[in-house]
Amino acid sequence: MQLGIIGLGRMGGNIARRLVRDGHEVVAYDQDAATAQALVDDGIGHAESLAALVESLDAPRAVWVMLPAGEPTEATIDALAELMAPGDTIIDGGNTFYKDDIRRAKALEPKGLNYVDVGTSGGVWGLERGYCMMVGAEDATFDRLEPLFDSLAPGYGDLERTRGRNAPNERAERGYIHAGPVGAGHYVKMVHNGIEYGLMQAYAEGFELMQSKASPDLPEDQRFDLNLADVAEVWRRGSVVSSWLLDLTAQALAGDPRLDHYSGAVSDSGEGRWTVDAAVEQGVSTPVLANALFSRFASRKENTYANRLLSAMRFGFGGHVEPPKQ
């Protein structure tokens, strides 16, 4: 089918390519004209403006917005809302906060515009592996767009089928789901990323514990100089902790076992934060998800006021003066 796509960064460009490969017709727009131009050789149409993009599509139109969440996405959707016609659909494939989806869908409804939120996982690997998608949409809208999701998804692949699975439809097994009404797609993706933080932190703490085991502070017979690239590799095979993140760990350690390329200041994105906010709002205990987030916060700061205050108290009650940093 036909799709307009806006935003041709790491994700948007590959989504366009994967759709065209599967026979869909794609017209793309990007603020940076050169970026859009570069896709022409891949068979992707190129519009000079938002208005031109909308005009180039047949009604009922579908336009996929693949921009950074927040202001860039919001402004683009506002502009599209002015250009599109009743029956058209705007798809937000970025990392939008699910309550913003709900708000937008309500605002677009009086204009007869449909809104769809697609949570997309797969990162830079999606072109090859396919994208795992969680979609929030009204039923009819989802049904109309389903061919797109089917093309973008990884498909059955060679994964072993889940024992006991007896589901009414096999979309999930092909790599996409209709999670629920508007907002549900990004909600599931948000939790996905919250889990991702927790998983990553679990590996990180464990590998730190293996790396530190070579420390000269330990008794000699308890010191182990472990080959962490080998550990990551062996765990890929038959262990309980095998995962795609472990595959990536094995890959990183194969090339640079000491990880000297990295500063250790770890960024976080909205989804990890929103997950904790959701936990607080719903009264759900999520110590692992929250502490994984807090560890990232701490990784980016030195000598915080909090820690200086601890030292000040220690000096106050015990006259303790801290030794220098390790």
Q: Does 109 bind its own copies (CB under 8 A)?
A: no
Verify binding: residue 282, its own copies, rule CB under 8 A: yes
* CB 324, min distance to its own copies, A: 7
With 0-12 / 13-18 / 19 or more C-beta atoms within 10 angstroms meaning exposed / middle / buried, residue 44 is buried
Q: How many CB atoms lie within 10 A of CB 266?
A: 17
Q: By CB under 8 A, is residue 262 in contact with its own copies?
A: yes
Are residues 54 and 84 in contact, defined by beta-carbon separation less than 8 angstroms?
Answer: yes
Shortest spacing between CB 17 and its own copies, in angstroms: 16
The two three-digit tokens of residue 178, written as one number:
């209709």
196 is catalytic: yes
Stretch that binds its own copies, among 35-43, 51-59, 77-85, 308-316 (CB under 8 A): 308-316
Count residues binding its own copies (CB under 8 A): 164
Residues 31-70 that bind its own copies (CB under 8 A): none
Note if 189 is an active site residue: yes
Structure-block tokens of residue 188? 């599931």
Question: Cβ 49 to its own copies, closest distance in Å?
Answer: 29
Tell me how far, at minimum, the Cβ of 13 lies from its own copies, in Å.
13
Side by side, the strands of the sheet bearing 114-121 are: 45-46, 25-29, 2-6, 62-65, 89-92, 114-121, 132-136, 176-180
Q: Judged by CB under 8 A, does residue 301 bind its own copies? A: yes
**Residue in 109, 196, 205, 213 annotated catalytic:** 196
Residue 312 and residue 304 in contact, taking contact as beta carbons nearer than 8 Å: no
Asked if 22 is part of the footprint of its own copies (rule: CB under 8 A), the reply reads no
C-alpha closest to that of 177 among 93, 118, 105: 118
157 near its own copies, rule: CB under 8 A: yes
For position 216 contacting its own copies by CB under 8 A, the verdict is: no
Q: At 6, is the secondary structure helix, strand, or coil?
A: strand
Q: Are 165 and 172 in contact (CB under 8 A)?
A: no
Q: Are 63 and 3 in contact (CB under 8 A)?
A: yes
Shortest Å distance, C-beta 283 to its own copies: 5
Between residues 64 and 187, which has the closer beta carbon with respect to its own copies? 187
Active-site positions read 189, 196
